[in-house]
Chains A and B, each alone.
Chain A
C-alpha cells in the first residue's frame, strides 16, 4: 500500500492521466489500465528516488508507454502489425468542442445520458476522482463485484456504442450540462463528507476537483445560472473546510471558529450569487447557494438571519421539493420559533435510514432537555453515518 502522501498524489493525478491517455488512445479502458500500471511503477520507483518534480507528467509518460506496449503486444498476438500503428493517432481529434480540457471531455463522456444515472456517478468517481472500485461500491452500498461489473459494462458501452469523447456542441450543451452538474455535486459531496473509512473524512482533493471542473463548465457556459449557482454553492460550503474538523471530529456550523473560514472563497461565492440574481432565473443550486451565503454572512452563529434562511428554503421547496429540504428548513425554523416547532416538522418525515435525520432529531431533543431520547438518536445517527469524523462527533455528543 502506498503511504498517505503518495495516495494523495495518485488520487489527484488519476483523472488527469486517464483523461489525457483516453484522448490520445481513444479507449477509456486502455487508458484506465495503463494509468493503474503507471501507478504501480511509480510506487516502486518513487520509493527509491522520491517524488519527481512533476508527478502528473511522469505518470502520463509512463502510462502512454504502457498503453503502447499493450497495443503492440495485442497487435503481435493477433498478427496485425498494422493495427498498433493506425490506432495511435497523434493528430488532434477533429471536433474538440469549445473548451480544450481533457478532463472536461472525460466528464461529459462519463456523464453521457445514454448511461444509467448511477453508472455516470460511479464512472466519474472512478475515472476522474481516482476512487477505487471498492470505495465506490461502499459509497453505493452494493457488493464490490456488482460495482466492478457496472463500471466494466459502462466502459464497454462507451466503446461499443461509440459514445463520443468530447465536449458536446454548443446547441446540445444546455441539455447535457444538468446531468454533468448533478454528477459534479455528488463528487463534491464525497469530498465534503467522505463515505469511505480508508480516506480522510474530508477529502479536500475531491472538493478541489469538483470546484475546478465546475469552474470549467462555468467558463464554457457563462450564462447558465445553475452552473454559476453550483460553483457558488461549492465555494460557500468549502470556504469552511479548515473549521470543519478538529481532533478527528467534525465541527458543526454553530461550533466553528469562523476566523478559519476562507474569506476569498466566500467573496467569490457572494459575487456569483449576485450574478445569479441579475440573471433572474432561479434554480435549486442557486437557491442553495443563497442559503449558504446567508450563513457565511453571519460573524457568529447567533447573528444568522434565520428568517432569510427560512424564506429561501420555502423558495427551494417550490422548485425542488424533497424531504431533505423540509428537514433542513425545519432546522432553521427551530432557530426562529424554537426547537419544539422544529422537532414537530422533523418528526413528520419518513427518513429513518438517513443519518442526518437522526442527528437533527437528536440535537433538537437535546435542546428540549429530553436527554435519553437524544442519546439514542445520536447513537442511531452514529451507526448510520459512513464518515469517521462525523461518527466520532456523534458518539461524543451522545455522552453529553
Chain B
C-alpha cells in the first residue's frame, strides 16, 4: 500500500464570496459524502480543510534567531486549501479517489505519493 496526498489548490482567481448559499451547501454535502465513503473504504488516513491563507504565520528557525512572519512563506498567488491523505494500492486507485474528490469540492486536486517509510 502507498500513501498519497490529494491536495486542493486555489490559484487566487476564485471568488469564494460570490458563491451563492445553495451552491456552497451542496459542496459541503458532497465533500461530507465523499469523506464518509473514503472512511468506509478503509483508505482514509487523514484530511482537513484549511483556514484562509491570511491566517497563516511563517516561522524561519534556520538561522540563529527564529523569525516570525505574518502570512505565507511565498508571495505566490497559489495556496493550499485543504488535503486528504489516503492509503491505497496504487496510482490508479489514488486517481479514482482524486477524481471523485475534485468533483465533490469543485477544485483541482493534485495527487502526490509519499516517500516510502525507511524499512
Contact = CB atoms under 8 A, between A and B. Distances in A.
B92 A161 contact: no
12 contacts: A112-B91, A114-B91, A114-B95, A160-B113, A162-B2, A162-B89, A162-B91, A163-B90, A163-B92, A164-B90, A164-B92, A168-B92
A3 interface: no
Contacts of B113: 160-162
Most buried by B among A114, A161, A164, A172: A161
A162 B95 contact: no
Contacts of A112: 91
Interface string B84-96: 0000011110010
Interface string B21-39: 0000000000000000000
Contacts of A163: 90-92
A161 B5 CA distance: 11
A114 B96 CA distance: 12
Interface of A: 80, 83, 112, 114, 160-164, 168, 172
Nearest to A169: B92
Most buried by B among A80, A162, A163, A168: A162
Nearest to B115: A160
Contacts of B119: 80, 83
A163 B91 CA distance: 5
Most buried by A among B89, B91, B95, B119: B91
Interface of B: 2, 89-92, 95, 111-113, 119
Contacts of B95: 114
Contacts of A164: 89-92
A172 B91 contact: no
B96 to A, nearest CB: 8
Task: Please provide the 9 A-B residue pairs with the shortest distance between their CB atoms, ordered closest to farther.
Answer: A164-B90, A162-B90, A163-B91, A161-B91, A162-B2, A161-B113, A162-B91, A164-B92, A160-B113
A83 B111 CA distance: 28
Contacts of B92: 163-164, 168, 172
Contacts of A172: 92
A160 B115 CA distance: 8
Nearest to B112: A161
A83 B119 CA distance: 9
A162 B89 CA distance: 8
Contacts of A162: 2, 89-91, 113
A168 B89 CA distance: 13
A112 B2 CA distance: 18
Contacts of A161: 91, 111-113
Given A80-B119, A160-B113, A162-B90, 8 more contacts: A83-B119, A161-B112, A161-B113, A162-B2, A162-B89, A163-B91, A164-B89, A168-B92
A160 B119 CA distance: 16
A112 B90 CA distance: 13
A164 B88 CA distance: 12
Contacts of A80: 119
Contacts of B112: 161
A77 to B, nearest CB: 15
Contacts of B90: 162-164
A154 B6 CA distance: 21
